[in-house]
Each structure stands twice: as structure tokens, then as C-alpha cells.
Structure 1
Amino acid sequence: MHFTVSKALHIQMIESCQLVAGKQGLNRIIRSVSIMDTPDTTLLKKGDLLLTTGYVFKDDTDTQIKLIQELAKRGCAGLAIKVKRFLSSTPEAMLQEANRLNFPILEIPYDIALSDLLILYSREIFYKENLLNEQNRKNDFFTKLFIGEHSNRDTIVNQLQEYGMFLFNHFNILYSVVQNGSKPSSISSAEFIRLVSEVEAKINIKMLVVKLDDYIIIAQPLNCKCPTQLRSVVKEAATLLVNKFTHLFPNETIAVGIGNGRQDVLDIYSSFKEAKGAFQLGLQIRSKEVEKVYEYTELEPDILLQQLPDIMLNSYYGSTLEPLIRHDRENDTEYLRTLKVFLNNRGKIEETSRSLYLHRNTVKFRIARIEELLRIDLKNGDALFRVQLGVRVAGLLGEA
């Protein structure tokens, strides 16, 4: 976002300017530009880029070296010398000192006027600083919105309108984290936003990306009235985003938490809390799932269970599933996993066999054996509920 020496070298029309020393200082930020034929370093400040013809120091090696040292000491951004006028090229002593101090020196071709360069660079600094100020303002607004500090509805409405959101649609928050193994992601914000735009084009939904510590997306399904349809569209958009991302960036990982839909802008904070909570809990208990999209609505029972003391959770887990756990441990079977998949597939043998890549007869045998070990009938509603609750507790405890 800042205007650096590196970016200054790539401005159209003046790309003929060349870096001749101080390559390691290309990331120095240019905050202002000065023209001096007789450089007075006492007038310069941090971030200054000095433009000069070099007339005063063209024949004085000591002055050349001292100038580089003073500019570097003051934190200036760099020195740009117009060559082929008083200097055929930058003196070797200056190049050596600049390389030693990682201080950039640019050579300006004879046909470029220093005044033109001053105008172009100043315009670029103004543009970059305005962008940075706007980004800071946006980040400040959304940071306060997502921690519940904004309580004035009109303020929120005006700001959201400015960022292109529709005020009479439901809002869902998607909390997304992108990583490269244990390291931060190498994917740029622009690439991520471009990917979200592709999802918008495919699905009838508006999505505003906010990049704070992680990516937060305000999603608004368009032309949806039924709550079930709203939820379905948001889930579809999140799933498409994860699938597209995984396909394009196979070495990166992405997971998304989805908060419940809200219509009042003051409730965006609540949806954000839910989305972040769903993301964190989803990774804890469903990390092995290929599609890492976690809805708060689906995980709400687990969130309630989290409020219970561990001693109670362990007691219930043991009393409900202990025979199954012991059998798996002693016989190296996967009955607990089979039961979990069977319950997730609503007790359907065919779907369970496909999910586990097993023959349907093998699944039927395992379910019968599970019922025998637990001494229950999975067709009995009370017994089914008790076992479902036990499996959820097992997930919270990291056992399933």
C-alpha cells in the first residue's frame, strides 16, 4: 500500500530510471520528494527522496561519501541523480557506500526533467497515502463492528451503504482462515477477493471481504425470503469458495465458519461471534472432514455441551459408548467411526457404505454388532438420541 522505491521504478513513463546501488533498500518508503542542486541534509527528513543533478559534489569524493552517509542516517528513502549533465554516471565511491548501507541510488536519464519527476512522484505519494488512510478507516470501522463497539444504527447503516451492502437483506458472517501449513498464507488479499468475486458471479449472493487478522466476509443472499433458503445459499457459497480455493491453491488450506443470518445491522456482531465460534469448534471436532465449512446452526448442540464440566462429559461418554470403545481398542476395529458415519447418514445403509467405501453387507454386520455390544436398538428413538449425544461428546473429547 505504501509508495516504495521499488514501486517508484515501475511508474509508467519513467521506467527508464535505473537502480544502480542499494538493492537491499528497495522497500524503503517514499513519503516526500525534494529537489536540491546543493543538497542540505539538515533540511531533509525520514522518507525523503532527494533529486539532484550532482553539480556540487561531482568532483569531490569525500562529499559524495558523506552525502550518502548523511541521507542514510536521516532515514531518507533514496537519492536520484540526473546523469549525462554534470556526471556521466554515478561515482564509484557513492555506489560502494550506498551498497554498504543498503541505501538506494537511482539514475535519471538526461531527457527526464527533475520537475516532471517531482510531480509524478508527489502525485503517486498522495494517491497511496489516501488509499492507506481509507484502508485504515475501513479497518477501524469493521474492527469496532465485529467486537460490538458500534451501537449507533445510523452510523453502521451509512458505512455499510458506502461499502455497497444492501440494508434490507439478511446478513451472514463467514469467518475464514487461510494458511500454508503452520505458516501464514502466501495468497494476497487481491487474489482472495478475486476468488470471492467468482463465487458471487456463480451464486446469487453479495459478499463483502474484510481483511483484518483473518478474512471476514459479510454475505447477503439476494432475492431469498425463506430462512431455510437463505441458509442454503450461504452454505453453497461457502462450500464453492472452499472448493475453488483448494483447487487453485493445493498447498494452502482454508476453513470457513458461518454465523446465523441476521436482519438488523446491530446483530452483525452476534453473527461474527457465531461464525468464529463455529470455525474454532469445527476444526476441533471435524478437522478430518475434507470440506471444511462449519455452520453455527449445525454445531450449536456441541457448543451447548461445551458448557458442561469435563468430568460430566467423560462420565456420559464412558457410560454410553464404553463397550464400543473397548472393543475397538482390543480388536483394532472401527465400530465407533462406523456408528458416527451411520448417524450422519440418517441411518441409511447404502449411504453409509458409500461414505466408508465398504460393501453394504459389511455395514449391516457392523451395525448389528454395534447394537449387540451397546445392548440397544437403533430404531428406538430414545436409544438413538442417547447414542447420538454420546457420539457428539466423543467428538468434543477428541475420541471420534
Structure 2
Amino acid sequence: MHFTVSKALNIKLFERCQLVAGKDGLNRTIRSVSIMDTVDTRGLKNGDLLLTTGFVFKDDTDKQIQLIQEMANRGCAGLAIKVKRFFSTTPEAMRAEADRLHFPLIEIPYDISLSDLLVLVTREIFNRENFFNDQKRKKEFFTELFSGGFTNKDAIINQLAEYGVFLNNSFAVMYCLQKNSPVSGTTNSDMFLSLISEIETKYDLKMYVVKLDHYIIIIQPQDSLSLERQSVKEAANYLVDKYQKQFPDTGITIGIGNYKEEAVHLISSYIEARNAIELGLQLNNDGIGKVYEYTAMEPDFLLRELPDSILNNFLSSALNPLIKYDEQNDTELLKTLEVFLQCRGKIEDTARSLFLHRNTVKFRITRIEELLKVDFKNGEELFRLQLGLRAARLLHKIK
């Protein structure tokens, strides 16, 4: 983000200076700062902030107005004049012209040294340039890393360590896909990072955030050698829920890659996280704003490798009576069965998930048992049903 006049007026010492005109130009970027002791403006360039006592134009209104005009035309950042020395206050003509041209005009208190301000602002510009250069290098590194550009384990570990990522314990990658557009804007970014800090404490995790087109999070445990799978999913659900409440029009969907033990496998977890989102959104019409774990979806990835003809044959063998019944009676027995099994056969939980009365669910389950002639206590039959339901999802038979 650019170092603007507005930001300069909030840093130490400079905050005592006062903007007296040109408030509509506060977003001008400061790229350099200097002390002016002549009225020669030929060396002025875009982004210059000039500090002056005003001695060279103290008695010449035309020069005062001309200076404002030339600086504004050259794209300078602003002009700061030390008062109570040659001016009791900034001349009205300069204020009027600065307001007209939306050019920031600032008064420096008498007790503040111009050289102190020069050093302060120069240091701030230098620090910010270094920061943004570091951010640029960081983005370039992670872009190359996640595209498979780095394969040497030691090189990856050393570069990650430089950015504060120590992959000594197990880790996993979260890929956060934002709805509508890539994550952007100061408000969204600050709020997102604030949520990450909250989650780190709540779930005892370390979460290293990388911002590329979307947020990528490297997750590690704080102390133990391995991640708790459930805590990571709970943290992801917490993030989705909180973010959705703050920004309902730009909610996020999260994919979680498998847990790894070595830094060289970071790219693998990242790819898995992205694939989990891709398949999750493919399988679910209302899949936005949810969390998808690659581990939980591995059977779906295996089934996806099979030809549709084989999937259709298996689906017909396992669940055809339900599919036909739903088509003929406009019912949702297939969906009810899926949710029933996800809820581990609990009627109350199934009813709550489907927003139905428990008696309605009981009736549907009884009808499913009659049509499929299935015993829900038989493990092999349950496995076959679950596999069939996954095939139905891949073939878009479940809405």
C-alpha cells in the first residue's frame, strides 16, 4: 500500500503538523522528501514532498501561487511550510490555490526541525519500500513454490525459515477460496488476519498466512508433534462462519490438504486443498461457504477416475429402487438416506439437518428399508450404500 500524505500525518512528530488546505489530495503518494531553499522548481518530480521555511517567497504572492501550481502540475505529494518564522500562518492565497488544485498544504510548528522531519519521512519511505519489496519477493517465492518450481528440500526449508515458517512438526495447507472475487481491500485483509490470530489461540495452532490470488494458510500445532485433524476442521468451520457473518457477500470456502511431515510435500498438501474445493463444489450445488477435507473425499477422487458407465451400473445395482421412486413420486428418499448415514443413523439429527419432523424422517427411513431390503446394522451393506451415494453425487443424481 502506498505511503500517502494522509499516512504521513499519522506518524511520529509529523502528527503535530496541521493540514491547512488541499484535503482532497491526501491520497497523493510520497516517494521522496527534501528541504527547499530556492524557488527553482525544475527539479521537482512526481511524489516529492517539500519542506520549507518559505523565506524565498515570503513577500511575493505571485510566487506563492505559482509554486503551488507547478508542484500540483508535476504530481508532487505536498508542501509543508514552517510557520512562526517568516509566516505567522500560511498565506490565504496559497491556501485557496491548494484547495482549488486538491494539493496538500501543511503547516509545521516552529519548534520542529525541518531536518528532523526530513530524516523521519525518509526513513519511513525506506522502511516501507523494503517492506513492499520483501512482500513482492515473498509472493514470488510462494507462487513458484505452489506451482512446483521448487523441488530441493533444503532450499525450501531455508527459504521458508527466512519467512518465519518452521516445518519441524506435521502441517497441512488450507486453501481459502473467496466468493465473487479474490480477497482484497484493507478491511477484508485486516479482519481476516484478526480472525486468524483469534483462531490460533482458540485451537492452539500456528497459522502462517500467504496472500496470493486467494489466502493460503500453512497450519502447524503450537507444541505437539502432530496436528489434531478434528481441531483443524473445527478451526476452518469457525473461520468460514465468522467471515460469512462479517462479509455475507464475499464468504469463503475452504479446502484442507492431507497432513504432511516434510516441507518438500508442502506443494502436495496445497494441491490436495485446491482439489478438495474443486470437487466439493462440483458435488454440491450449495457448496459455497463450506469446508472440504481431502482426506474425507479420497473415495470420491478414486470413483471419479472410473468411467461414467461403470459408475452408472454400480449406482443402478445399489440404489436404483430409490432413484425410480423419487422420480415417480417427486420425493427425496436418496437425499434422506445420504443425510441419515451422515448423521450415523440418528433420526433426530437427520430431521434437524433436513428441517423435517422426526416422524416424517422415520416414515422415509422405513420406506427406504422396504425398497432396498437393507439392514442398517450390516456393515458391508452400509459400505455399499455409502459408495453408491458417492457415485450418485458424482453423477449429479442428488440435488
Equivalent residue, structure 2, for 1:370 = 368
- The amino acid across from 2:290 in the alignment is K
* Structural mapping, 1:295-374, within 5 Å: 295-307=293-305, 324-325=322-323, 327-328=325-326, 331-373=329-371
Percent same amino acid at aligned positions? 61
1:206/1:222 contact within 8 Å kept: yes
Q: Partners of 2:52 and 2:316 in 1: how far apart?
A: 80
Indicate whether 1:51 and 2:84 are aligned.
no
Equivalent residue, structure 1, for 2:279 = 281
- The amino acid across from 2:126 in the alignment is F
1:278 offset after TM fit, Å?
1.2
Q: Partners of 2:108 and 2:225 in 1: how far apart?
A: 62
- Mark the runs of 5 or more structure 1 residues left unpaired by the alignment: none
Distance change (3 Å), C-alpha of 1:336 and 1:110: same
Q: Partners of 1:22 and 1:318 in 2: how far apart?
A: 74
Q: Partners of 2:99 and 2:314 in 1: how far apart?
A: 69
1:294 offset after TM fit, Å?
0.9
Q: Partners of 2:69 and 2:3 in 1: how far apart?
A: 23
Partner deviation per Cα, 1:339-389 (whole Å, 9 max, x = no partner) = 220222244445434433545443232123234456766667776555434
2:20/2:107 contact within 8 Å kept: yes
1:206/1:221 contact within 8 Å kept: yes
* Structural mapping, 1:52-71, within 5 Å: 52-71=52-71
1:324/1:374 contact within 8 Å kept: yes
Q: Partners of 1:381 and 1:166 in 2: how far apart?
A: 43
Partner deviation per Cα, 1:292-323 (whole Å, 9 max, x = no partner) = 22101112233344455668767876786566
Indicate whether 1:215 and 2:222 are aligned.
no
Indicate whether 1:174 and 2:174 are aligned.
yes
User: How well do the aligned residues superpose, as a CA RMSD in angstroms?
Assistant: 3.4
1:273 offset after TM fit, Å?
0.8
1:258/1:275 contact within 8 Å kept: yes
1:4 offset after TM fit, Å?
1.5
Equivalent residue, structure 1, for 2:259 = 261
TM (normalized to structure 1)?
0.84
1:282/1:294 contact within 8 Å kept: yes
| Comparing 268-277 and 44-53, the one that deviates more | 44-53
Partner deviation per Cα, 1:121-154 (whole Å, 9 max, x = no partner) = 1122122222222222222222221111112222
- Mark the runs of 5 or more structure 2 residues left unpaired by the alignment: none
Q: Partners of 2:211 and 2:27 in 1: how far apart?
A: 22
* Structural mapping, 1:23-102, within 5 Å: 23-102=23-102
1:155 offset after TM fit, Å?
1.9
Q: Partners of 1:279 and 1:346 in 2: how far apart?
A: 24
2:280/2:287 contact within 8 Å kept: no
1:96 offset after TM fit, Å?
3.6
Equivalent residue, structure 1, for 2:270 = 272
Distance change (3 Å), C-alpha of 1:312 and 1:34: farther
Figure out how many residues of one structure are paired with residues of the other and give that number.
398
Q: Partners of 2:22 and 2:47 in 1: how far apart?
A: 15
| Comparing 205-214 and 372-381, the one that deviates more | 372-381
Q: Secondary structure at the match of 1:121?
A: helix
Q: Partners of 1:225 and 1:109 in 2: how far apart?
A: 57
Distance change (3 Å), C-alpha of 1:122 and 1:389: same
